[in-house]
Amino acid sequence: MNELVGTGRLVRLILRRDRVLMPLWVVWIAIIPIGYVASINGLFPTAAGRQTYADESAHNAGFVALYGRLFGSSLGELVAWRAGFIPVAIGLFTILTVIRHTRMEEETGRRELLGATVVGRYAGLAAAVLTTCVANLVLGALVALGLMSQDLPAAGSWALGLEFAAAGWMFAALAAVVAQLTASARSARSIAIVVLAATYVLRLAGDISAIGSGAVSWLSWLSPIGWVQRIRPYGGDRWWPLALAVGVTAVLVWVAVALSARRDVGSGLLASRPGPASAGAGLRSPLALAWRLHRGLLLGWAVGFALLGIVFGGVAKSVGDMAQDNQTFADIVARVGGTAGVIDSDLAGSIGILGLIAAAYAIQATLKLRDEETSGHAEPVLSTATGRLRWAAGHLLFTFLGPAVALLASGLAMGITYGSTAHDVGGQVPRLVAGAMAQLPAVWVLAAIAVLLFGTLPRLSPVGWGALAACLLLFLVGGAVRLDQWVMDISPYTHLPHLPGGEVTATPLVVLTAVAAALAVVGLAGLRRRDMPTP
């Protein structure tokens, strides 16, 4: 057990360093399902109402894609189903936390400093995984207790809480493995997030197949997110998927330990290759540097968006088919303007989700500026004949145009996949590309908020994520809780046209773009005036 000496102290160090961040995400995520209880109760006070809603939702491909499959109509089941996206959010925060306390520590050399004290070989890894797993358990307990306080059955509440915790455990162990592979924390984060996205897409493809032909429904079984959802809280409370999750966690932790024993501190298993001895002719401006720093990110987001576009586009047709099979559903369909109307509103909903995700990219690209200045990378550049605005402009080009590229990719992919099922590629591509691009003004507003913070209150730059979280919260629960319109109006996304199918007026798009431009200009003016931080 010598290898684990000092784990306790390292756990305390992690808790000290994350004393704000960790409680924040744990509580924030735990509140969401508790909020669903009130909102679903408010919308469907009777069992009959819930039954109708469940019947429609269980076969709605868009909903199944987003949340997973629905098998019952009790309040608890609806809450658990609505919370189907939460394991992904948990996975994301878990991955970021584990990488931050393992590979990041090694890359910055802090691990070396600690490693020379009385700290066992695996103590760092153990502390990071242990702390994150306990955080996930606390999250699960909060969810369970919160739902029980809303008079939901105890067994089901604990099942849902443990479903979340188990998802967190598996991704914590996964991140621990990935942290052994590469020398840079950035690559490790990217790899882990790609795996997370892949598990989501597998779950989504399998579940959608299950409500249709069922040909590839087994895909859900390749996804850890798919497994934990098979616990079916409130609808059977099956515990064996939990055992599966615990087993996978144990195996992954074992793999991480074995890999870590095989390498030196600071190195990764994937070796880094030598590069060019001198710079290519093009690498001569801040813009060229920004391209080098952003191109991987841009490619990743564009590919991710294209994949989501393929999925959303592929699903849309089956929504229309369902409308024809199901009488109750068909009546609703007739009211919203026929089958075409249902498909359009489904596509518009998908595009709305893409718009929110695109803002995450925009904020990430903006925060790269902050990263560059705090890491000391900006200082040598700014001590050349490069002014601050030119330096920032290189990065901001990706902030504002990067999401445009990603949305374009998803619009094209949706247009081609949906167009080919509807035998109308030529007609659908322009409609869906236009619909995706119409999200840009709202994306730009969120990006500009991040620029404003970076320029005027640089220490608060990460609060830009808070703005996105608020918009996401309004999007997810706003309609269900029937918030007042003025609250909904805070989110720039509320003002966007619902495309395809909706009406388009230029005013909101122009106003949002103008607001974004104004915020960004104020941010840049602040950047010109303020001190650059000491790295």
Site of interaction with another protein (CB under 8 A)? 107, 183-184, 186, 272, 274-280, 283-286, 288-289, 292-293, 296, 375-377, 379-387, 529, 531-532, 534-535
Amino acid (one-letter) located at 510: V
Which one, of 440, 416, 425, lies nearest residue 513 by Cα? 440
Alpha-helix residue ranges (DSSP H) falling in 422-505: 425-437, 440-456, 463-481, 485-488
What minimum distance in Å lies between the beta carbon of 526 and another protein?
13
Our CA angle for 363, 417, 346, nearest 5°, is: 65
Which of 72/268 has CB closer to another protein? 268
Q: Please identify which residue in the block is written with the tokens 């790295």.
A: 535
Instruction: Determine the Cα–Cα distance for residues 77 and 73; give it in Å rounded to an integer.
Output: 6
What minimum distance in Å lies between the beta carbon of 266 and another protein?
10
What minimum distance in Å lies between the beta carbon of 236 and another protein?
49
Give the single-character DSSP code of 495: G
Which of 91/286 has CB closer to another protein? 286
Which of 287/401 has CB closer to another protein? 287
How many Cβ atoms are within 10 Å of 285's Cβ, its own excluded?
12
Which of 213/285 has CB closer to another protein? 285
Amino acid (one-letter) located at 285: S
Judged on CB neighbours under 10 Å (0-12, 13-18, 19+), 331 is exposed
What minimum distance in Å lies between the beta carbon of 455 and another protein?
15
What minimum distance in Å lies between the beta carbon of 260 and another protein?
19
Non-local CB neighbours of 118 within 8 Å, separated by 6+ positions: 5, 6
Q: What is the DSSP string of 152-202?
A: --HHHHHHHHHHHHHHHHHHHHHHHHHTTT-SSHHHHHHHHHHHHHHHHHH
Which one, of 410, 210, 423, lies nearest residue 313 by Cα? 410
Give the E-state strand segments of 82-178 in sequence order: none
Which of 276/426 has CB closer to another protein? 276
Which of 263/284 has CB closer to another protein? 284
Which of 381/416 has CB closer to another protein? 381
Question: Which of helix, strand or coil describes residue 54?
Answer: helix
Which of 382/434 has CB closer to another protein? 382
Judged on CB neighbours under 10 Å (0-12, 13-18, 19+), 461 is buried
Which of 34/188 has CB closer to another protein? 188
What minimum distance in Å lies between the beta carbon of 107 and another protein?
7
What minimum distance in Å lies between the beta carbon of 187 and another protein?
9
What minimum distance in Å lies between the beta carbon of 20 and another protein?
21
Residue 485 backbone dihedrals phi, psi, to 5 degrees: -60, -35
Which of 482/529 has CB closer to another protein? 529
3-class secondary structure for 228-269?
HHCCCCCCCCCCHHHHHHHHHHHHHHHHHHHHHHCCCCCCCC
Question: Which of helix, strand or coil describes residue 293?
Answer: helix
What minimum distance in Å lies between the beta carbon of 261 and another protein?
22
111 Cα distance to chain centroid: 29
Which of 272/505 has CB closer to another protein? 272
What minimum distance in Å lies between the beta carbon of 499 and another protein?
38
Our CA angle for 160, 67, 417, nearest 5°, is: 160
What minimum distance in Å lies between the beta carbon of 360 and another protein?
22
Which of 107/237 has CB closer to another protein? 107
Tell me the CA end-to-end span of the chain in Å, nearest whole number.
39
What minimum distance in Å lies between the beta carbon of 283 and another protein?
5
Which of 107/346 has CB closer to another protein? 107
Instruction: Determine the Cα–Cα distance for residues 175 and 272; give it in Å rounded to an integer.
Output: 20
What minimum distance in Å lies between the beta carbon of 293 and another protein?
7
Q: Which residues of 338-347 are buried (b: 16+ CB within 10 A; e: fewer)?
A: ebebbbbbbb
Instruction: Determine the Cα–Cα distance for residues 300 and 149; give it in Å rounded to an integer.
Output: 42
Contact by Cβ (8 Å): 146, 33: yes
